[in-house]
Chain A
Amino acid sequence: NAGVMQNPRHLVRRRGQEARLRCSPMKGHSHVYWYRQLPEEGLKFMVYLQKENIIDESGMPKERFSAEFPKEGPSILRIQQVVRGDSAAYFCASSNPWREPRGDTQYFGPGTRLTVL
C-alpha cells in the first residue's frame, strides 16, 4: 500500500520561471493538503482540496500560487514567476474524511525541495 507520493523530490528554478509540484495521495484518500516549510521552521498550511474542488485556500499567497486536484491524476501546486523567497520544502498530506474515527488523520509525503536561484 503505497504512501503519499510527491515529485519531483528536488526542483531547481531560476527567478521568473514556473514550478509545478505534484502529489499523489495515499490509496483510498480523496483529500489533499499542501504545506510549506521554510528552513528551520514548522509547517504552514497553504491549501486543502478534494477532487475538482478547493475547500480552503486561506493559507495560499494571493498572487503567483495556485493549486488543483483534477478528477484524474495528481494534485498540482503551481508557482508562477518564482522568487528566491519561494525556496522551501513543500509537503503534501492526504486524508480520507469519511473513514471514522480517524478521518482527520493526515499522512505526509516526502516533500519537494524547491530551490530558486
Chain B
Amino acid sequence: GENVEQHPSTLSVQEGDSAVIKCTYSDSASNYFPWYKQELGKGPQLIIDIRSNVGEKKDQRIAVTLNKTAKHFSLHITETQPEDSAVYFCAAGGKLTFGQGTILTVHP
C-alpha cells in the first residue's frame, strides 16, 4: 500500500517568511495529492491539491509542486501570517494516506 513521509515535524518561522513542507510517497500509481490544514479541535480543511498531470499549482500565498519521477511533493507558503499557525498534513491516493503532520508556528 501507499506510504507517505512528511518533513519537518515542526517548523517555526517569523511572520513574513516563507515556509516549506515536503512529502514523499511510495506508490507510483497515486495521482492525487491534497494538503490539509488542521487547527486545534477542528477537522482537516483542504487548502490546495494537485493532480499528477500538473507539476505546480498556486493559490494566492500557497503553492504546491509535484515531482512524479522522484515521488515527492511540497507545500510552499509565502508571506506567512500568525493565522497560518496550525498542523499541516499532506496526503496521497484515493483513500487518502496521510503524512505524520507538520506543526507550523508563525511568530509575530
Contacts and interface: CB of A to CB of B under 8 A. Distances in A.
Contacts of A53: none
Q: Is the interface of B mostly helix, strand, loop or mixed?
A: strand
Given A42-B89, A43-B89, A91-B44, A108 B98 contact: no
A74 B96 CA distance: 21
Interface in A70-114: 91, 93, 101, 104-111
Contacts of B96: 33, 35, 43, 45, 93, 106
Interface residues of B, number: 20
A105 B34 contact: yes
Interface string A4-27: 101000000000000000000000
A52 interface: no
A41 B51 CA distance: 25
A22 B97 CA distance: 22
Contacts of A64: none
A69 interface: no
Contacts of B44: 43, 91, 108
Interface of B: 6, 32, 34, 36, 42-46, 49, 51, 89, 94-101
A11 to B, nearest CB: 15
Interface hub of A6, A42, A59, A109 (most chain B Cβ within 10 A): A42
Contacts of A33: 95-96
A108 B95 contact: no
B94 A104 contact: yes
B42 A106 contact: no
